[in-house]
Amino acid sequence: MADGQIIVTGGSKGIGAAIASELDARRFPVVCLSRTGTSDVGQAIACDMTDEAAVRTAFARIAEQGTIVGLVNNAGVHIPGAIATLSVEEFNKTIALNTTAVMVAVREAYPHLKDNGGTIVNIGSFFDKLGVPDNLAYCASKAAVAAMTRCMAVEWARDRIRVTNVAPGYIETDLNRDYLARPKVRDWMKQRIPVGAPGSVADVARLVAAIICEKIDFLTGETIYVDGAQGMNH
Protein backbone atom coordinates (compact mmCIF):
# COMPACT_ATOMS: atom_id res chain seq x y z
CA MET A 1 0.00 0.00 0.00
CA ALA A 2 1.29 3.46 -0.93
CA ASP A 3 1.58 6.17 1.73
CA GLY A 4 -1.56 8.21 1.00
CA GLN A 5 -4.32 9.29 -1.33
CA ILE A 6 -3.82 10.72 -4.82
CA ILE A 7 -6.50 13.03 -6.23
CA VAL A 8 -7.00 12.78 -10.01
CA THR A 9 -9.20 15.44 -11.59
CA GLY A 10 -11.08 14.40 -14.71
CA GLY A 11 -10.61 10.75 -13.74
CA SER A 12 -13.88 9.56 -15.27
CA LYS A 13 -12.54 8.91 -18.76
CA GLY A 14 -9.69 9.36 -21.23
CA ILE A 15 -6.21 10.14 -19.94
CA GLY A 16 -7.43 10.76 -16.38
CA ALA A 17 -9.08 7.32 -16.16
CA ALA A 18 -5.85 5.70 -17.37
CA ILE A 19 -3.82 7.64 -14.78
CA ALA A 20 -6.24 6.55 -12.04
CA SER A 21 -6.00 2.90 -13.15
CA GLU A 22 -2.20 2.98 -13.28
CA LEU A 23 -2.00 4.50 -9.78
CA ASP A 24 -4.57 1.99 -8.50
CA ALA A 25 -2.45 -0.84 -9.94
CA ARG A 26 0.49 0.58 -8.00
CA ARG A 27 -1.64 0.40 -4.82
CA PHE A 28 -2.37 4.10 -4.31
CA PRO A 29 -5.81 4.95 -2.94
CA VAL A 30 -7.13 7.10 -5.79
CA VAL A 31 -9.90 9.71 -5.59
CA CYS A 32 -11.31 10.78 -8.97
CA LEU A 33 -13.06 14.13 -9.28
CA SER A 34 -15.27 14.90 -12.29
CA ARG A 35 -18.67 16.39 -13.02
CA THR A 36 -20.28 12.98 -13.52
CA GLY A 37 -18.57 11.59 -10.42
CA THR A 38 -17.78 8.21 -11.97
CA SER A 39 -14.58 6.18 -12.18
CA ASP A 40 -13.42 2.65 -12.98
CA VAL A 41 -11.20 2.44 -9.91
CA GLY A 42 -10.87 3.93 -6.44
CA GLN A 43 -13.31 6.47 -5.09
CA ALA A 44 -15.28 8.85 -7.29
CA ILE A 45 -16.64 12.22 -6.18
CA ALA A 46 -18.80 14.54 -8.30
CA CYS A 47 -17.09 17.92 -8.41
CA ASP A 48 -17.06 20.62 -11.07
CA MET A 49 -13.47 21.85 -10.91
CA THR A 50 -14.56 25.34 -11.99
CA ASP A 51 -16.74 25.63 -8.87
CA GLU A 52 -14.35 27.01 -6.23
CA ALA A 53 -16.59 26.21 -3.25
CA ALA A 54 -17.21 22.65 -4.47
CA VAL A 55 -13.47 22.06 -4.86
CA ARG A 56 -12.78 23.31 -1.33
CA THR A 57 -15.49 21.03 0.08
CA ALA A 58 -14.27 17.99 -1.88
CA PHE A 59 -10.63 18.45 -0.79
CA ALA A 60 -11.65 18.88 2.86
CA ARG A 61 -13.73 15.69 2.68
CA ILE A 62 -10.83 13.75 1.13
CA ALA A 63 -8.41 15.06 3.78
CA GLU A 64 -10.78 13.97 6.54
CA GLN A 65 -10.68 10.38 5.36
CA GLY A 66 -6.87 10.14 5.19
CA THR A 67 -3.54 11.65 4.18
CA ILE A 68 -3.27 13.26 0.74
CA VAL A 69 0.14 12.74 -0.92
CA GLY A 70 -0.55 13.84 -4.46
CA LEU A 71 -2.71 15.70 -6.95
CA VAL A 72 -2.99 15.19 -10.70
CA ASN A 73 -4.60 18.18 -12.43
CA ASN A 74 -5.87 16.46 -15.55
CA ALA A 75 -9.42 17.79 -16.15
CA GLY A 76 -9.33 19.90 -19.29
CA VAL A 77 -11.36 21.14 -22.19
CA HIS A 78 -10.50 21.79 -25.83
CA ILE A 79 -12.74 24.25 -27.66
CA PRO A 80 -11.34 25.21 -31.09
CA GLY A 81 -12.22 28.57 -32.63
CA ALA A 82 -10.81 31.13 -35.05
CA ILE A 83 -9.28 34.20 -33.37
CA ALA A 84 -11.27 36.59 -35.58
CA THR A 85 -14.56 35.40 -34.09
CA LEU A 86 -13.42 34.21 -30.66
CA SER A 87 -15.73 35.53 -27.96
CA VAL A 88 -14.55 36.46 -24.46
CA GLU A 89 -17.04 33.91 -23.15
CA GLU A 90 -15.47 31.08 -25.18
CA PHE A 91 -11.94 32.17 -24.24
CA ASN A 92 -12.84 32.33 -20.55
CA LYS A 93 -14.48 28.89 -20.64
CA THR A 94 -11.19 27.31 -21.66
CA ILE A 95 -9.16 29.35 -19.19
CA ALA A 96 -11.63 28.64 -16.35
CA LEU A 97 -11.01 24.88 -16.42
CA ASN A 98 -7.54 24.50 -17.95
CA THR A 99 -5.88 27.29 -15.96
CA THR A 100 -7.90 28.89 -13.14
CA ALA A 101 -9.14 25.53 -11.82
CA VAL A 102 -5.54 24.31 -11.65
CA MET A 103 -4.64 27.33 -9.50
CA VAL A 104 -7.62 26.71 -7.20
CA ALA A 105 -6.88 22.97 -6.91
CA VAL A 106 -3.22 23.42 -5.97
CA ARG A 107 -4.10 26.19 -3.52
CA GLU A 108 -6.67 23.95 -1.83
CA ALA A 109 -4.28 20.96 -1.84
CA TYR A 110 -1.37 22.91 -0.36
CA PRO A 111 -2.49 22.90 3.32
CA HIS A 112 -2.85 19.12 3.09
CA LEU A 113 0.53 18.54 1.42
CA LYS A 114 2.79 21.04 3.17
CA ASP A 115 3.47 19.08 6.38
CA ASN A 116 4.58 15.84 4.71
CA GLY A 117 5.51 16.97 1.20
CA GLY A 118 4.03 15.40 -1.89
CA THR A 119 3.72 15.42 -5.66
CA ILE A 120 1.64 17.60 -7.96
CA VAL A 121 1.45 16.66 -11.62
CA ASN A 122 -0.26 19.07 -13.99
CA ILE A 123 -1.35 17.81 -17.39
CA GLY A 124 -0.40 20.44 -19.96
CA SER A 125 0.00 19.98 -23.70
CA PHE A 126 2.73 20.21 -26.31
CA PHE A 127 0.57 22.98 -27.81
CA ASP A 128 2.03 25.18 -25.02
CA LYS A 129 5.01 26.00 -27.24
CA LEU A 130 3.37 25.87 -30.66
CA GLY A 131 1.36 28.29 -32.76
CA VAL A 132 -1.75 26.33 -33.71
CA PRO A 133 -4.53 27.74 -35.91
CA ASP A 134 -7.93 27.91 -34.16
CA ASN A 135 -6.29 27.13 -30.79
CA LEU A 136 -5.44 30.48 -29.21
CA ALA A 137 -7.36 29.85 -25.98
CA TYR A 138 -6.16 26.27 -25.58
CA CYS A 139 -2.50 27.12 -26.29
CA ALA A 140 -2.62 30.07 -23.87
CA SER A 141 -4.27 27.97 -21.17
CA LYS A 142 -1.60 25.27 -21.38
CA ALA A 143 1.33 27.72 -21.60
CA ALA A 144 -0.02 29.22 -18.38
CA VAL A 145 0.00 25.79 -16.75
CA ALA A 146 3.70 25.39 -17.61
CA ALA A 147 4.42 28.84 -16.11
CA MET A 148 2.35 28.09 -13.00
CA THR A 149 4.21 24.79 -12.56
CA ARG A 150 7.53 26.65 -12.41
CA CYS A 151 6.15 29.12 -9.83
CA MET A 152 4.72 26.35 -7.62
CA ALA A 153 8.01 24.45 -7.79
CA VAL A 154 10.13 27.34 -6.55
CA GLU A 155 7.62 28.54 -3.95
CA TRP A 156 6.92 25.11 -2.47
CA ALA A 157 10.32 23.40 -2.76
CA ARG A 158 10.91 24.26 0.90
CA ASP A 159 7.78 22.25 1.72
CA ARG A 160 9.16 19.25 -0.24
CA ILE A 161 6.32 19.51 -2.76
CA ARG A 162 7.50 18.44 -6.22
CA VAL A 163 5.56 19.88 -9.17
CA THR A 164 5.81 18.64 -12.76
CA ASN A 165 3.98 19.58 -15.95
CA VAL A 166 3.41 16.51 -18.14
CA ALA A 167 2.67 17.76 -21.66
CA PRO A 168 1.23 15.16 -24.04
CA GLY A 169 1.17 15.28 -27.82
CA TYR A 170 -1.64 13.60 -29.78
CA ILE A 171 -3.07 10.86 -27.59
CA GLU A 172 -5.73 8.49 -28.83
CA THR A 173 -8.87 8.63 -26.65
CA ASP A 174 -12.54 7.79 -27.17
CA LEU A 175 -13.10 11.37 -28.27
CA ASN A 176 -10.66 11.42 -31.19
CA ARG A 177 -10.34 7.71 -32.10
CA ASP A 178 -12.58 7.97 -35.19
CA TYR A 179 -10.90 11.19 -36.32
CA LEU A 180 -7.40 9.73 -35.90
CA ALA A 181 -8.42 6.59 -37.82
CA ARG A 182 -9.26 8.60 -40.99
CA PRO A 183 -6.70 7.61 -43.67
CA LYS A 184 -5.78 11.24 -44.44
CA VAL A 185 -5.27 12.08 -40.75
CA ARG A 186 -3.35 8.83 -40.16
CA ASP A 187 -0.99 9.62 -43.06
CA TRP A 188 -0.44 13.17 -41.78
CA MET A 189 0.34 11.87 -38.27
CA LYS A 190 2.75 9.31 -39.71
CA GLN A 191 4.70 12.10 -41.37
CA ARG A 192 4.55 14.65 -38.54
CA ILE A 193 5.17 12.41 -35.51
CA PRO A 194 8.70 10.96 -35.62
CA VAL A 195 7.62 7.76 -33.83
CA GLY A 196 4.96 7.33 -36.54
CA ALA A 197 1.61 7.48 -34.72
CA PRO A 198 -0.29 9.12 -31.83
CA GLY A 199 0.45 7.96 -28.31
CA SER A 200 -1.80 5.99 -25.99
CA VAL A 201 -3.37 6.97 -22.69
CA ALA A 202 -1.10 4.36 -21.11
CA ASP A 203 1.99 6.29 -22.28
CA VAL A 204 0.87 9.34 -20.29
CA ALA A 205 -0.42 7.30 -17.33
CA ARG A 206 2.86 5.40 -16.91
CA LEU A 207 4.88 8.64 -16.97
CA VAL A 208 2.62 10.29 -14.37
CA ALA A 209 2.69 7.22 -12.11
CA ALA A 210 6.48 6.97 -12.42
CA ILE A 211 6.88 10.62 -11.37
CA ILE A 212 4.64 10.02 -8.35
CA CYS A 213 6.25 6.70 -7.38
CA GLU A 214 9.89 7.69 -7.80
CA LYS A 215 9.64 10.89 -5.68
CA ILE A 216 12.72 12.50 -7.28
CA ASP A 217 13.19 15.65 -5.18
CA PHE A 218 15.55 17.25 -7.72
CA LEU A 219 12.98 16.93 -10.52
CA THR A 220 10.59 19.84 -10.05
CA GLY A 221 9.20 22.75 -12.06
CA GLU A 222 9.93 21.05 -15.37
CA THR A 223 7.68 20.42 -18.37
CA ILE A 224 8.13 16.89 -19.68
CA TYR A 225 6.82 16.34 -23.19
CA VAL A 226 5.37 12.95 -24.06
CA ASP A 227 4.69 13.57 -27.74
CA GLY A 228 6.75 11.11 -29.79
CA ALA A 229 9.16 14.04 -30.49
CA GLN A 230 6.53 15.85 -32.60
CA GLY A 231 7.01 19.19 -30.83
CA MET A 232 10.73 19.28 -31.69
CA ASN A 233 10.40 17.85 -35.19
CA HIS A 234 11.58 20.17 -37.97
Shortest distance in whole angstroms from residue 221 CB to ligand NAP:
19
The residues that are catalytic are 138
* Cβ closest to ligand NAP, residue 15 vs residue 62: 15
Q: Interacting stretch for ligand NAP, rule CB under 6 A, among 82-90, 163-171, 187-195, 209-217?
A: 163-171
Asked whether 233 and 193 are in contact (CB, 8 A), the reply is yes
Q: Interacting stretch for ligand NAP, rule CB under 6 A, among 70-78, 108-116, 147-155, 156-164?
A: 70-78
The C-alpha atoms of residue 91 and residue 97 are separated, in whole angstroms, by: 11
Asked whether 122 and 212 are in contact (CB, 8 A), the reply is no
Residue 180 CB neighbour total at 10 angstroms:
17
Please state whether beta strands 30-34 and 43-46 pair in parallel, antiparallel, or not at all (unpaired).
parallel
Q: Interacting stretch for ligand NAP, rule CB under 6 A, among 73-81, 102-110, 111-119, 186-194?
A: 73-81
Shortest distance in whole angstroms from residue 217 CB to ligand NAP:
26
Phi and psi at residue 180, to the nearest 5° = -70, -20
13 is an interface residue for ligand NAP by CB under 6 A: yes
Asked whether 36 and 14 are in contact (CB, 8 A), the reply is no
29 is an interface residue for ligand NAP by CB under 6 A: no
The C-alpha atoms of residue 89 and residue 138 are separated, in whole angstroms, by: 14
Q: Is 154 helix (H, G, I), strand (E, B) or coil?
A: helix
* Cβ closest to ligand NAP, residue 67 vs residue 100: 100
Residue among 107, 173, 219, 224 that touches ligand NAP (CB under 6 A): 173
Residue among 121, 171, 193, 207 that touches ligand NAP (CB under 6 A): 171
Residue among 74, 149, 165, 220 that touches ligand NAP (CB under 6 A): 74
228 is an interface residue for ligand NAP by CB under 6 A: no
Shortest distance in whole angstroms from residue 132 CB to ligand NAP:
11
Cα radius of gyration rounded to whole Å, the chain: 17
Q: Is 46 helix (H, G, I), strand (E, B) or coil?
A: strand
Residue among 21, 34, 94, 230 that touches ligand NAP (CB under 6 A): 34
Asked whether 164 and 224 are in contact (CB, 8 A), the reply is yes
* Cβ closest to ligand NAP, residue 154 vs residue 232: 232
Phi and psi at residue 218, to the nearest 5° = -85, -5
Asked whether 128 and 166 are in contact (CB, 8 A), the reply is no
Query: What is the binding site for ligand NAP (CB under 6 A)?
Result: 9-10, 12-16, 34-36, 48-50, 74-78, 97, 123, 125, 168, 170-171, 173, 175
